[in-house]
């Protein structure tokens, strides 16, 4: 009999204990997020489904990439700096954005509301005026108004990355302060890599970029950024570097006649380990190759080496979040496969499984010594034949034989899933949003907050129903739930965090329970 543990050993070489990925380990038969958070203990304490957000992993990701860049600079002799920007569209949650900024990230926006958030964070002192705000994407009127308001309020390092010439005309006419500009290149559809065909609609042709450069020249404004973009979750480093070399040559030709152009933004695409147990990518090697290529084309043009900008969204936040979902029951799916029916819904909580056929790392919290089963997951909280994982054209998922109370951990869900699925509204088949536990680092302490699960009243209100509609249900209806039900502080643990749910402040918390509640209100 092959056990699940045998399968992991044979397939990935994992012996059952130790580091499993760069964000996950297993010790004493327990899965630990970031070597700190005991997922089984949290599931036992708070129940499932449960969303766990461990924000220190965001800080870790930012620092790792900065370290990779430093190593690449030393290896290649590159003279320009490295600028790490967080693409906030991956996850707009306040604690996520704040953590990324605190870790040293610059800010990249994609929509009008995003600029409003950036403006607010600057006013609050969370976003330093020394950081760049790169405003990407096609800009409707509200987006342009947000950029203008931010610049006129005194933020000097906001960069309008142009997607078309109409944006430029409006900003030139209406911005009364010196404004920084960028241009985003658009590849010729005849030669573009069809792996990312949707990206063809963004940016400007080389002829349009030339026009934009000429219109900006002689004004009080400056063109400082050349923006390239290849794709998302790129794991073929050689192919990626080759595409970017063409972009670097375009940058160098433009910079040779535009002295203010000093930043080469290679866009997003940095892959992350949350989607495959056997994931491997040489980050430092990729950056070394990129820096070498950029330095070479700049030398050919006789120009200085630019600062290199990376816009990391998925890479920054994907791995800090995990869903814990209970298997409610099983059904036979065929001669060789089982249905594991979840007390939840993956098409609602992880919509990328359906939208872009994204695969995720899914592991059981226990039962690793049980017999191996080949499984497909189905959601019980929707009545939809599409609520299944993996998709029908993919192989079934390897999991242990079902045991009552089995809980599965779905990793890599910190990027895009909550943003695409929406938060705070009514979802498919009225699947309620799960309870959340948010863990942040504050100095030498971890701060844990609980956000209660979505109630029936909140969903009915979102759909426009009044309270009387709920009366025939004949069950207690909760009042609208507070955002943060409890907050607790604890020192950084010497051993894994076991998910204690103290109702009084930890001894390390200065002040009273009132201070704890005030802290929660301030974080809301």
431-480 pLDDT, tens digit each: 788 899 999 998 889 999 998 888 888 888 888 887 665 555 544 433 33
Residue 151 lies in a domain: yes
Residue 103 lies in a domain: yes
Alpha-carbon span 191 to 306, nearest angstrom: 26
Average pLDDT of the chain, as a whole number? 86
- DSSP per-residue letters across 277-291: TT----HHHHHHHHH
Residue 461 lies in a domain: no
What is the pLDDT, as a whole number, of residue 391?
87
Q: Is the pLDDT of residue 508 over 50?
A: no
Q: Is the pLDDT of residue 21 over 70?
A: yes
What is the pLDDT, as a whole number, of residue 462?
84
Residues 6+ apart with CB under 8 A from 135: 108, 109, 115, 143, 147, 158, 159, 160, 161
Strand partners, 331: 339
Cβ neighbour number for residue 214 with a 10 Å cutoff: 10
Alpha-carbon span 23 to 42, nearest angstrom: 17
Question: In terms of residues, how long is the chain?
Answer: 524
The residue that leads in pLDDT, 26 or 378, is: 26
What is the pLDDT, as a whole number, of residue 468?
63
Residue 17 lies in a domain: no
Residue 484 lies in a domain: no
Cβ neighbour number for residue 437 with a 10 Å cutoff: 21
Q: Is the pLDDT of residue 408 over 80?
A: yes
The residue that leads in pLDDT, 497 or 167, is: 167
The pLDDT-based confidence of 519 (bands split at 50, 70, 90) is: very low
Q: How many domains does the chain have?
A: 1
Residue 435 lies in a domain: no
Compute the C-alpha angle 86/92/93, nearest 5°: 115
Range of the domain at 300: 57-317
Pair 252, 203: CB distance under 8 Å: no
What is the pLDDT, as a whole number, of residue 237?
86
Q: Is the pLDDT of residue 305 over 70?
A: yes
Q: Report the relative pairing of strands 307-312 and 263-265 from DSSP bridges.
A: parallel
Alpha-carbon span 357 to 509, nearest angstrom: 45
The percent of residues in the chain predicted with pLDDT above 90, rounded, is 65
Residues 6+ apart with CB under 8 A from 115: 109, 133, 135, 143, 146, 147, 149, 150
Q: Write out pLDDT tens, residues 381-393.
A: 788 877 788 888 8
What is the pLDDT, as a whole number, of residue 429?
76
In angstroms, what CA-CA distances link 215 with 130, 207, 474?
27, 13, 68
Alpha-carbon span 330 to 398, nearest angstrom: 15
CATH number, domain of 118, equals: 3.20.20.10
Q: Is the pLDDT of residue 264 over 90?
A: yes
Residue 486 lies in a domain: no
Q: Which of 309, 289, 276 is nearest to 238 (CA)?
A: 289
The pLDDT-based confidence of 100 (bands split at 50, 70, 90) is: very high
Alpha-carbon span 502 to 489, nearest angstrom: 9
What is the pLDDT, as a whole number, of residue 469?
59
Of 18-27, 163-172, 232-241, 324-333, minimum mean pLDDT range: 232-241
What is the pLDDT, as a whole number, of residue 472?
53
Alpha-carbon span 123 to 106, nearest angstrom: 16
Residue 324 lies in a domain: no
Q: Write out pLDDT tens, residues 129-146.
A: 999 999 999 999 999 999
User: Which 3 state secondary structure label does DSSP give 481?
Assistant: coil
User: Which 3 state secondary structure label does DSSP give 90?
Assistant: helix
Backbone phi, psi, residue 502, to 5°: -65, 140
Mean pLDDT of 23-43: 95
Q: Write out pLDDT tens, residues 186-209.
A: 876 555 555 555 567 788 999 999
Pair 266, 221: CB distance under 8 Å: no
């Amino acid at each position: 009999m092959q056990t699940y543990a045998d399968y992991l050993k044979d397939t990935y070489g994992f012996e059952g204990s130790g580091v499993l990925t760069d964000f996950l380990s297993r010790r004493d038969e327990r899965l630990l997020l970031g070597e700190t958070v005991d997922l089984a203990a949290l599931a036992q304490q708070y129940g499932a489904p449960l969303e766990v957000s461990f924000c220190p992993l965001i800080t870790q990701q930012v620092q790792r990439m900065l370290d990779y860049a430093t190593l690449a600079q030393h290896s290649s002799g590159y003279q320009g700096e490295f600028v790490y920007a967080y693409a906030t569209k991956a996850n707009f949650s306040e604690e996520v954005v704040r953590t990324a900024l605190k870790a040293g990230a610059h800010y990249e926006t994609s929509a009008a509301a995003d600029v409003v958030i950036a403006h607010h964070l600057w006013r609050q002192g969370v976003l330093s005026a020394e950081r760049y705000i790169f405003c990407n994407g096609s800009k409707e009127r509200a987006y342009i108004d947000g950029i203008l308001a931010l610049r006129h309020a005194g933020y000097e390092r906001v960069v309008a990355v142009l997607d078309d010439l109409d944006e430029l005309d409006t900003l030139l006419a209406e911005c009364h302060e010196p404004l920084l500009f960028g241009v985003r290149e658009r590849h010729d559809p005849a030669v573009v890599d069809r792996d990312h065909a949707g990206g063809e609609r963004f940016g400007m042709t080389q002829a349009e970029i030339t026009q934009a450069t000429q219109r900006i020249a002689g004004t009080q404004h400056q063109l400082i950024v050349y923006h390239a973009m290849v794709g998302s979750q790129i794991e073929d480093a050689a192919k990626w570097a080759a595409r970017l070399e063409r972009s670097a040559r375009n940058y160098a030709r433009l910079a040779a006649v535009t002295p203010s152009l000093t930043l080469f933004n290679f866009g997003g695409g940095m892959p992350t380990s949350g989607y495959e147990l056997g994931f491997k990518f040489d980050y430092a090697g990729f950056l070394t190759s990129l820096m070498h290529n950029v330095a070479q084309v700049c030398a050919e043009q006789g120009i200085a080496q630019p600062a290199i900008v990376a816009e990391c969204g998925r890479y920054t936040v994907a791995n800090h979040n995990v869903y814990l979902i209970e298997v409610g029951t099983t059904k036979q799916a065929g001669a060789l496969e089982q249905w594991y029916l979840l007390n939840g819904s993956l098409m609602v909580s992880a919509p990328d499984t359906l939208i872009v056929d994204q695969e995720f790392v899914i592991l059981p919290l226990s039962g690793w010594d049980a017999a191996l089963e080949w499984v497909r997951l189905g959601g019980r909280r929707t009545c939809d034949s599409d609520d299944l994982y993996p998709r029908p054209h993919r192989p079934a998922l390897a999991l242990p034989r079902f045991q009552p109370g089995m809980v599965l951990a779905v990793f890599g869900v910190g990027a895009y899933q909550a943003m695409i699925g929406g938060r705070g509204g009514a979802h498919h088949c009225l699947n309620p949003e799960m309870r959340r536990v948010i863990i942040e680092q504050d100095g030498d302490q971890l701060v844990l907050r609980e956000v209660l699960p979505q109630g029936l009243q909140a969903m009915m209100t979102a759909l426009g129903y009044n309270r009387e509609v709920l009366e025939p249900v004949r069950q207690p209806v909760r009042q609208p739930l507070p955002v943060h039900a409890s907050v607790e502080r604890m020192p950084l643990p010497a051993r894994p965090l076991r998910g204690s749910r103290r109702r009084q402040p930890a001894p390390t918390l200065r002040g009273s329970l009132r201070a704890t509640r005030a802290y929660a209100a301030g974080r809301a």
